[in-house]
Structure 1
Amino acid sequence: MRSSLSADWDFERETRSILLRFVAFAILLANLLLGGGAEAEGTHFAVIICYLVISIASVMSARFLPGRSWLKTLFVVLDALLVALILYAHILGGPVTENHNVTTSSLVVAFILLNHVGLKLDRRLVLVFSGIVLVAWIGMLAVTGARHHTADAVSFVAYFFNQDLGLTVSYGFTAFAIYLLAKDHDKTRKEALLADRRRLNLSRFFSPLVVADLQEGSSALELERRNAVIMFVDLRDFTSFAETAPARQLAAVLAQYRHLVSGIIFDHGGTVDKFIGDGVMAVFGQPTAMKDDADRALACALDLVDALNDWKHQNLVGGYPALSAGIGLHYGSVVGGVLDSGCHSEFTVIGDAVNVAQRLEALTKVLGSPLVVSSALVKQLRKPAPSALWTVQNEVALAGRRLPIDIWYLQTEVDSSVPSPVAGGAKTPLQRPSLQSSPFTAPDVGIG
């Protein structure tokens, strides 16, 4: 997955580069029109035409062939060669004995194009451009000194170590400074892109608020006891399907299922604690508890029931395995945070509430219900939720747990003639708005 941060950086960098390129073109054109010496006029005109062609080609390649590093290098090399021509264009057209000092306009163009390359923030391109220009510049100084009519050792040194050499050294220091800036930017950019990729990876498992805490190393990540809603989602008969299904089909079904479930959980502000095969464990209220954790968790569970039912029917129509799902939901005390395990630390929750939620999910298969909710969660609801058909079951025994629990489970169809499959309670179809005015009080199960 390519980071959007990288794309934004590349676009802004290319925009700045294109703008400065046409500023340099305007200076070249003004230099020709205002007079740069008749002997150099032909060279200047050729340079302007070449630079215009290179500029157009550079813009077109950035637009239609982005990411071609060899094209960027080619345009930088061509720019550097044009700068070398601009710096000493008058040498090509004038007598050897004439003054060959660089003109102000040619020097301005050389520095502008150096900045143009610098705005690409690519230290490799800065090295290529400045290296070609400096080698050509020093070579021109050497050729000028050697060609002079009084060319002896003393005069050569005098003509070589002149004002132009000082400008060359200044140009080299400027190029070095731009190189260091590009190097620092490259390091900062890599760190930012790495952080962005980590954020994107974390966002696949955690809600945005949790991602922010993980990135900042918030104190909310420390292990502490808090109340939270635990959700378990599991596919029924998945093990049988996995035993015979081709590997690709198995991976595709599992990926679709996980993507669907985690997306809905994130939409409701929950956190995916872990994937366990075809099971998903989610938490609402970790690492920071909110007053509406129970409401959001129940709304999420109801949306999951609908979404997974639609997914099942879509698979059935498409000839894929139609798998049902069960959801268990419980509110209780947990110990949550980053659990240090030596070489591998885990951001998770532990406690009796986790075990209860998992047992409630297992109960969905016995009850033939897509959703089983504990009365402890019902008591935490702060506002009415969408209508649904519920059945209350009192004193339900859970495997491995001494104290029974009162539950509410969702029915897709009401059939009062069918006896309750769980001993110890009466089956009563209820509408969702009456949840908060339930006629019973759940016993204290000693959670936490």
Structure 2
Amino acid sequence: MFNQYVPPAYIEKLIHSAKGTELKTERREMSVLFADIRNFTTLSEQFTPEELSDFLKEYLTQATGIIFENKGTIDKYVGDMVMAFWNAPLEDADHALNAVVSALNIITLTETLTPIFLAKKWPAIRVGIGISTGDMVVGDMGSNYRKAYTVLGDAVNLGSRIESLTKYYGVDILITNSTYNAILSKGIICRKIDKIRVKGQKAVVDVYEPLGFNHQLDDMTLKVLDMHHDALNKYLAGNWQESQALFIKLKQNTYLSTIIYDIYLARIETMANKQNIKDWDGVYSHESK
């Protein structure tokens, strides 16, 4: 049964570990991933029920394989959405890194599947992924009638919230600052996207877009990335004119996605029309989930 939740290679280790197969509820630092197909409701209308089942099976099987290859545990599928977590049931010191690598590989998977799907007269897919790292409660949860091995906590909810924001920012992946800090020394280059407060939570969180390992990025991408962070730092410091000029330049780049720059230019225009802005902290509060 557990073969459907964790990589098969883990089962032998689990059985022979000191914990045996006990799935008691416990609190530990973990990473959680949410991956959702964009505009799935519209896409699903193009399929017969049988075609939709085949479409989802092909994508979900390969996405799950990627998660398993990187030591992840499947929590659940909800239609087209995949939820997975790392560092349970067995310990994984690199849980944040393995979650981010899984996300990058899932995005590569969607690019690989595009010509295959088009050949079958299926639509191409885009996926949005959110990853959060933090304290979570994991274990068997539910009722006397039905239980699930799952995770709960504010960090879990945050992962779901930032996944829904990938479309808003025009990026494929968003990770929290906790995840970013955990992979900082692992060679993955990230673009800082925003300083936000999500609906339903009071905490302020920085969100980042993982771009890939350092050796995978060319010099021009890194140069544009430096300009991006310069512009963002000026924006967060309230230097509207300087950040505006840089964001206008960045809109013309072909190395990084550019929807984010329209967002910042619109915010700057709004700020410029306000007088005596007090207590500016750069935080943007999202009012929708």
* Letter of the 1:311 counterpart: L
Say which SS state the counterpart of residue 45 (structure 2) adopts.
Answer: helix
Whether 1:309 and 2:111 are equivalent positions in the alignment is: yes
Corresponding residue of 1:339: 141
Shift of 1:244: 4.2
How high is the TM-score relative to the length of structure 2?
0.69
The answer as to 2:204 corresponding to 1:362 is no
CA RMSD, Structure 1 to Structure 2 (Å): 2.9
Max Rg structure: 1
* Alpha carbons 2:34, 2:130 under 8 Å: kept: yes
- Greater share of residues in helix: 1
CA displacement at 1:210 relative to structure 2: 5.3
Count of aligned pairs:
225
What is the aligned counterpart of 1:207 among 1, 4, 7? 7
Deviations 1:283-310 (A, max 9, x none): 0111233221112111111111111221
Cα 1:334/1:213, change in 2 over 3 Å: farther
- Give 1:410 deviation, angstroms: 4.5
1:408-429 alpha-carbon deviations (Å, 9 max, x no partner): 1246986712525379999xxx
Distance 2:178 2:266 in 1: 18
User: Which residue, 218, 223, 226 being the options, matches 2:28?
Assistant: 226
Find the counterpart in structure 2 of residue 95 from structure 1.
none
Q: Which residue of 2 aligns with 1:400?
A: 200
Using the aligned pairs only, state the percent identity.
27
More strand by share: 2
The 1:294–1:423 alpha-carbon spacing in structure 2 relative to 1, beyond 3 Å, is farther
Alignment partner, residue 266 of structure 1: 68
Output one character per residue of 1:136-169: Cα deviation in whole Å (capped at 9) or x when no partner.
xxxxxxxxxxxxxxxxxxxxxxxxxxxxxxxxxx
Helix, strand or coil: the match of 2:41?
Answer: helix
TM-score, with structure 1 as normaliser: 0.46
Q: Which residue of 2 aligns with 1:322?
A: 124
Q: Which runs of 5+ in 2 are unaligned?
A: 213-220, 225-248, 252-257, 269-282, 284-289
Match of 1:253 in 2: 55
Q: Which amino acid aligns with 1:207?
A: P
Higher RCO by CA contacts (8 Å cutoff, separation 6 or greater): 2
Question: Would you identify which runs of 4 or more consecutive aligned residues in structure 1 move more than 4 Å?
Answer: 212-217, 410-415, 422-426
* 1:243 equivalenced with 2:85 (yes/no): no
Q: Give the letter aligned to residue 209 of structure 2.
A: Y
Contact 2:14 2:21 in 1 (8 A): no
Q: Residues 74 and 83 of structure 2 are in contact (CA less than 8 Å); yes or no, is this contact kept in structure 1?
A: yes
In the TM superposition, what is the alpha-carbon distance from 1:236 to its structure 2 partner? 0.6
Q: Is the Cα–Cα contact under 8 Å of residues 222 and 338 in structure 1 kept in the other structure?
A: yes
Specify every segment of 5 or more residues in structure 1 that has no aligned partner in the other structure, as ranges.
1-197, 427-441, 443-448
CA distance in 2, matches of 1:424, 1:335: 40
Letter matched to residue 153 of structure 2: G
Q: Which residue of 2 aligns with 1:421?
A: 263
How many angstroms does 1:393 deviate by? 2.7
Task: Please give the secondary structure, in 1, of the residue aligned with 2:122.
Answer: coil
